[in-house]
Amino acid sequence: MNTTMDTITTDAAAAKKAAFEANKLSKRLHRQVGQAIGDFNMIEAGDRVMVCMSGGKDSHALLDILLSMRQRAPIDFSIVAVNLDQKQPGFPAEVLPAYLKSRGVEFRIEEQDTYSIVKRLVPEGQTMCSLCSRLRRGVLYRVASEIGATKIALGHHRDDMVVTLLMNMFFGSRMKGMPPKLVSDDGRHVVIRPLAYVAETDLERWAEHRAFPIIPCSLCGNQENLQRVQTKKMIREWERQYPGRIDNMFTAMGNIVPSHMMDRKLYPFETLRATGVADADGDKAFDEEPCAPPPPTPGALRIAPDSEDTP
């Protein structure tokens, strides 16, 4: 009898803790998405937001959070979910329509056989992402015009933005990231990334909690040697050794000091002259560089303030 009661008590405690953690995660995700939308004026009154649904965890979370936020938003905006069925072999075409109907959201499934085009043009073993992305982008821009969307929402998150910055540095020799908001390359659409402040690990937890019907990408999902995959593994390892490093890199993307970089288009180095006036933000070239803290000792307690500790 005592054993049964102990088991019930333990299960109840575990369920309570799980509910508390899920509630805390929900608050954090909604706060971060709301902050990103506000900081970059992503969604305005009367907008028709096209949420691009791939079937992965990120786009599922984006739609889920935007639907929730729309219910209590101080402005009125509409949402339409759009999925591009690229005709990949074995793609479960019935999964997303069934899910979107269950959520009561307007949606459109666009069928375009970009899979065959990519497989025909890209030699076996080479990266498919670039061509696939261009084809997909063109289709989605067309659909956005056809449905009258004023914003195109993509599910890229904080880690995607940091990885893109590093990849452009490593392989493109340029300081270029993935902005939270931009005008599309055809000049006709505004693209937004409301998950810009959200960590990928939180999206993984949210997808598990919400039990989204995840559809893996069979076209590129198994390309483990992709530079993007390797770069993501690298920053995950950095984060494990030095917690907060991804956040620091992400924050740095919004704290650019042109006078301390080398881009002559952004700062007039050629005409720079001594003024004789002290500048608190001037040259600190000989100052000691900030050092990263040592990695935490195994078993050590790390305490950080968290405003979400109350359910």
Query: 10-residue block means of pLDDT along the chain (311 residues)?
Result: 66 80 96 97 97 95 97 94 85 92 96 73 60 78 95 96 94 93 91 98 96 77 67 94 95 92 93 85 60 51 38 33
Using a cut of 0.85, tell me whether the model's pTM lies above it: no
- C-beta contacts of 200-204 below 8 A and 24+ residues apart: 200/58, 200/157, 200/158, 200/159, 200/160, 202/25, 202/28, 202/29, 203/57, 203/58, 203/61, 203/157, 204/57
What is the structure's pLDDT at 148?
Answer: 96
What is the structure's pLDDT at 301?
Answer: 37
Q: What is the dihedral of CA 60, 64, 69, 71, to 10 degrees?
A: 140
> Residue 31 has which token pair?
């706060």
Is there a binding annotation on residue 132? yes
Q: What is the C-alpha to C-alpha distance for residues 29 and 184, in angstroms, rounded to an integer?
A: 26
Contacts for 164 with CB less than 8 Å, ≥ 6 apart: 176, 177, 178
Give the number of C-alpha atoms closer than 13 A to the C-alpha of residue 162, restricted to the C-beta side: 25
Q: What is the C-alpha to C-alpha distance for residues 153 and 3, in angstroms, rounded to an integer?
A: 52
Which residue from 218, 233, 213, 219 is spatially nearest to 103, judged by alpha carbons?
213
Say if CB 96 and CB 53 are below 8 A apart: yes
What is the structure's pLDDT at 286?
Answer: 54
Looking at the structure, give the CATH architecture of the domain made up of residues 33-252. 3-Layer(aba) Sandwich (3.40)
What is the structure's pLDDT at 137?
Answer: 83
What is the structure's pLDDT at 220?
Answer: 52
Buried b (16+ CB within 10 A) or exposed e, 85-105: bbebeebeeeebeebbeeeeb
What is the structure's pLDDT at 216?
Answer: 78
Three-state secondary-structure class, residue 52: strand
Is there a binding annotation on residue 217? no
Q: What is the C-alpha to C-alpha distance for residues 294 and 310, in angstroms, rounded to an integer?
A: 31
What is the structure's pLDDT at 226?
Answer: 75
Q: What is the C-alpha to C-alpha distance for residues 129 and 34, in angstroms, rounded to an integer?
A: 30
Is there a binding annotation on residue 129? yes
